[in-house]
């Protein structure tokens, strides 16, 4: 397998030399030719991705990158946690203060609600009694109207006789 790679490299070199041979055979000196051709030359070194040492080095680099990112993130997260804790303490103390300030008003409000409930209950009982009495009154009024009409009819019958 190494022989194939070497043959490919040799063939690639020969092809490159054949490309630049006309450039080298001119009347220019070698150093001038090299200077003129140098920007066109590209050297590529291919890394063998299967080389385990490269992977180990990459793993070490990534591990160090992760550690440094973790240090930075941990510091920021700790600061954030501290800020949130302080804010929660402030909110808790303000809540206690407001509750203490409003405690008397809350007690008065609850008392007023209880009184309102009692008054509503009394009103419903009284209005229920009034409704019943109004119904009885209407019946009695109908009865008296009927009796009055009968009395008027009898009187007119008696006077007509």
pLDDT tens profile 130-156 = 888 888 888 888 888 877 788 888 888
> Which residues, 6+ apart, have CB-to-CB distance to 20 below 8 Å?
37
| Lookup: tokens for 83 | 């800020």
Q: What is the pTM of this model?
A: 0.38
Q: What's the confidence (pLDDT) of residue 141?
A: 86
Burial degree of 42 (CB within 10 A; 0-12, 13-18, 19+): exposed
* Whether the predicted pLDDT of 63 surpasses 70: yes
Contact 19, 10 (CB under 8 A): no
The CA radius of gyration of the chain, in Å to the nearest whole number, is 55
**How many whole angstroms separate alpha carbon 104 and alpha carbon 102?**
6
* Whether the predicted pLDDT of 28 surpasses 80: no
Contact 47, 54 (CB under 8 A): yes
**Residue whose pair of structure tokens reads 């690639």 in the numeric block:** 12
**How many whole angstroms separate alpha carbon 146 and alpha carbon 82?**
90
Q: Structural domain boundaries of the chain?
A: 1-46, 47-160
């Amino acid at each position: 397998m190494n022989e194939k790679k070497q043959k490919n490299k040799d063939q690639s070199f020969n092809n490159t030399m054949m490309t630049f041979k006309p450039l080298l055979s001119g009347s220019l000196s070698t150093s001038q030719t090299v200077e003129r051709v140098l920007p066109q030359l590209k050297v590529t070194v291919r890394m063998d991705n299967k080389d385990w040492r490269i992977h180990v080095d990459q793993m070490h680099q990534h591990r160090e990158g992760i550690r440094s990112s973790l240090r930075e993130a941990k510091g920021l997260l700790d600061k954030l946690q501290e800020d949130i804790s302080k804010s929660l303490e402030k909110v808790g103390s303000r809540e206690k203060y407001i509750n203490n300030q409003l405690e008397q008003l809350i007690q008065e409000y609850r008392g007023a609600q209880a009184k309102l409930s009692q008054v509503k209950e009394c009103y419903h009982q009284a209005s229920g009694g009034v409704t019943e009495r109004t119904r009885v009154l209407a019946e009695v009024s109908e009865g008296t109207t009927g009796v009055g009409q009968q009395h008027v009819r009898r009187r007119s019958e008696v006077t007509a006789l």
